[in-house]
Each structure stands twice: as C-alpha cells, then as structure tokens.
Structure 1
Amino acid sequence: MHIAVLVANTDESAFAQGHPKDGAKFATLLHEQRPDWRVSSFSVKDGEFPAAGAQFDGWIITGSPASVHDSDAWVAQLFGLIRQIVARGDRLFGACFGHQAIALALGGVVGDNPGGWVFGAVDTVMEGQQIRLYAAHKEQVLVVPEGAVVLGGNAECAVGSFAIGRSVLTTQYHPEMTHGFMAALVAEYAGKLPTEVAAQARASLNTPADRDVIAGRMVRFFDENRL
C-alpha cells in the first residue's frame, strides 16, 4: 500500500520547525497500524504536487492554518487535483483543512464556526461511535457536497465527518496529532486565543484522544479488502 500525503500546513514558525511535519505525523499514525505501508509526502502549499497521472493506493490531505477560501494558486490547484482523484474513484481522506477543501472543491459550503475557535480535545460522533479527537479550527463545513453522507459531528460542528461512497472519508479533526503535540500547541496558542477558549483547551487535555480508534478506521478505509 502506497499513500500520498498532500501537506497543506503553511505554518513555518519556530514552533512548527521544532516538531515533525504533518507528512511525518500521518506516516507515524499509519505505521502504528501498518508498518509496511509506504507513505510519500508532497508539500502542496509550496507548489510541490505529484506528477500528472501519478498513481497511489490512497491520498490524504492535511490540516492547515490557511483557509480554503484563500486565493493562493496552490489552493486552486489542490481543488483541481481533488476533483481528479474523486473522478478516478481513488480513496481520499481529508483532515481539518483537507475535510473542508474536499467539501468546497466538490460543491459544498465552508464558513465560520458559529462559536469561533474550537481548540483542544473534543468528543464527536463518527459512524455512530463517539470518539475523542483533537481540534484546532475556526471554520467548518456547513453544507456537504451532493452525494455526500454526514457520518457525525457534535453541537459545535454538525458536519464533523462525511463520506462519498466508498472512496471519500473526512474528519474536521486531527487524527495525526499526538497528546504531547496537542499540549504544546495549546501552550503555543494560549496567548492568541480568547481566554475562555484557552482555558477550556487546557482542561480538555486531561483525557487523551482516541488515536488508535481513528487510525484503525483510516487503515480500514484505505484497505479495500477490509471494508
């Protein structure tokens, strides 16, 4: 199995440089379940895309502090690639920005979170199962694309996950983040967040996310023989 990770994360701060890149984070997550899988990363936010016609067994689009509404050329190019991947029926997984990018590229609607920032560990529903995941977002999917099925969410984010057939699966959250990284991210952003959001984020870290659960779901999604 060979998975392509399309890295959309535009954060080049000193904080970001002190931690693994998102491509490495997703590779680690998948390798915890399938150590023999190959994972290749492409920094699409820098214009680094796979060659035209490149074949992979699955694709992942990462999170990003960028907005899917940004006018940067790489965002438009990513939307085009999303449409190609979906048209071919390849398996495509999107997380946070990736979840929103897939929705918008395919005709959905993305807008501001009604309550502003969602940050820290949150409980959401995915395919009827309550799952705890890490969040860091100010926007969310408001309307899913035609043919998509909402798999769950919560009071703060009604579209926490959606699917299109057996080839697209998304989550508004961050399965790739470890507890240690999320704790560091909360500390890094504490001064940039509203006081009550920062306090709630810190308190939420008393219970870690369900990393194994979401990793297992991703592996089953990519491994067509186990769906």
Structure 2
Amino acid sequence: MRIAILMTNTDDSGFAHTHPMDGEKFTTLVQMARPAWRCDVYAVKDGIFPDDIVTYDGAMITGSPTSTRSGASWVTRLLALIRQIHDRKIPLFGACFGHQAIALALGGRVDNLPGGWVHGRTENHLVARPEWAAELPEVVSIYGSHVEYVRELPKEADPLMTRDGHNTGFTLGSHIATSQHHPEMTHAFISALTEELRQDMGPEVYARAQESLKQKVDQPALAEAIARFFEAARAA
C-alpha cells in the first residue's frame, strides 16, 4: 500500500531536530507491521499537500502542538481535505491533533481537557472491537501528551476507546479510525519529551508522567491493528 502521511507538527525547535521527525516516526510505525508499504510525507503545516489524495490507499494525520481551533490557514485547508477524504471513503487514521482535526472537520467539538495536561503512558478502555482490533487488549496502553480533547463526536461516529470518561478514539464507517494518543512514540522519545516539557507541565504532571513511563505500552499490537484497519478499509 501507499500511505500519505500528513505531517502537522509545527515544532521546529532544537529539541525537535535532535529526534526523528513525525513523518519518520509514523513511517516506522507502519513498517513495523508492514515493511513493504510505502509512506510519502507531506508537511501540510508548511502548506505542502498531496496533489491528488485519491492516488493513495490511505492517509494518516500526525500530532501537533498547534490547536485544531487555531484558525491557521493550513489547518482550514486540512479540515477541507478531511471532508474530501471522508466523502470519497479513503481510509484515514488520525492521532492526537489528527484525531481532533477529523472530529472537528466532520461536525464534532474540540475543547480544553478538564483537569489539564495529560502526559506519559495512558490506559485506554476499548469500548468497541472492530475486526481489525481483535488482537488489542481490553485496556490499551499508549503514550500521550495533550491539553485538548474531542468533547463531542461527529454524529455518525462510534466510540472506540475512552479514558477517565473522555473519548480517546473513534471510528466512522469502515474508513476512519482515530486515537487521541500517540502510537508512533517510542519510550526514548516520550522520556526526552517529558524532560523537555518539565517546566511547562509542572511538578505534579511531571511526577505522574515519570512514574507512568516505568511500564510498557502496546506499540507492536497497535501497529498491527492500524495496518489491519487500512487493509479492511480498502477491502470494504
């Protein structure tokens, strides 16, 4: 398969450049499960979009420190592309910002997360089990870092995962799946990011994050589930 990775991460700091960029992280995630698949990265945050998204077997939208509600011109253009992808039923997976952007583009609502910042290893309860998610555990562990969330799903969407009563993933038809959290992040990266954001997140969030990182996440199982999602969506 050919997957278009729509890279939304606007972090251009020295920290960002000492680690793999999001396009590489998502390519690694895809090829962890399907080594032969090709991923093409488009820096949509710089206004670089695919010439024709229909030439791809699917698309993925990455995370970003930018808010989906920012009104930035590239965000507005991305929301329009999401609606085009949905109308044509092209398989689409979104993580964090991508999850929120898909919801917002299709009629959902995004808001500030009650209780503030979530960072580190998160435990998400699987509330639905599509066939492609058959091998995921009942509680899915994923690294996360966010201060906004999907408050209201699009009308036709179905919840996939929840955490503390909040939605952390949804599906829409057979062609859209999302995760509020970051299946592409490695332990090395989230550990470094935790130190980078230590002052911003405050001592309590930092301490919780550090403690959470002592346990593993379900990255290989998530990589396989995402690959199966694309395969099932293309076959539908």
- Which TM-score applies when normalising by structure 1? 0.96
Decide whether the 8 Å contact of 2:54 with 2:90 is kept in 1. no
Aligned to 2:195: 187
Amino acid at match of 1:186: T
Residues 1:56 and 2:65 are matched in the alignment: no
Aligned residue pairs total 226
Decide whether the 8 Å contact of 1:220 with 1:226 is kept in 2. no
Matches within 5 A, 1:64-213: 64-126=64-126, 127=128, 129-155=138-164, 158-213=166-221
Q: 1:35 deviation in Å? A: 0.5
Spell out, residue by residue over 1:84-111, the C-alpha distance to the aligned partner (whole angstroms, 9 max, x if none): 0000000000000000000000010000
Structure 2, unaligned stretches of length 5 or more?
130-137
Spell out, residue by residue over 1:112-147, the C-alpha distance to the aligned partner (whole angstroms, 9 max, x if none): 100100000011123362110011000000000010
Amino acid at match of 1:165: G
Matches within 5 A, 1:10-25: 10-25=10-25
Structure 1, unaligned stretches of length 5 or more?
none
CA distance in 2, matches of 1:199, 1:146: 38
RMSD: 1.3
- Which TM-score applies when normalising by structure 2? 0.93
Spell out, residue by residue over 1:64-91, the C-alpha distance to the aligned partner (whole angstroms, 9 max, x if none): 0000001110000000000000000000
CA distance in 1, matches of 2:13, 2:53: 33
- Quick one: higher RCO (CA 8 Å, sep 6+), 1 or 2? 2
